[in-house]
Amino acid sequence: MKKLLSIVALSLAGMVSANAAVVVIGNPGAADISKGDAKKAFLGKGSSYVVYELDEGNATRSEFHSAVTGKSDAQLKAYWSKQVFTGKGNPPATVSDAAAMKAAVASDANAIGYIDEADVDGSVKIILKP
């Protein structure tokens, strides 16, 4: 019985770490950001941040936008299509994965992005946990 409980406990611990939350990251010297400011930045609405997105189809991207901008993948695509068509803005630069996101954000004091909290290391700082 103890062995079974140990296996269940280890399985649950693995599930918790596998489902870590998405976080907004900045350069190690960056200040914290509010959810409202993050939403504005990632929707291109008058922000001084250099914003990086993960590539389309990435589950972390979907989780982030659901939590911060309130937009689904399809809504986000439509939003940026309209912004580009009307000349009001262009979508943020994209990176392929968490490692590329950390490298991009770490290299620019004004840059922000998002990754799974489990991927955070000393090269970046968590500035928002939505």
Q: For residue 69, what are its two tokens?
A: 């901008």
pLDDT tens-digit profile of 29-70?
999 999 999 999 999 998 899 999 999 999 999 999 999 999
pTM, rounded to two decimals = 0.83
Contact (CB, 8 A) for 36 and 130: no
Q: Confidence class of residue 18 from pLDDT cuts 50, 70 and 90?
A: low
- Number of Cβ within a 10 Å radius of residue 11: 10
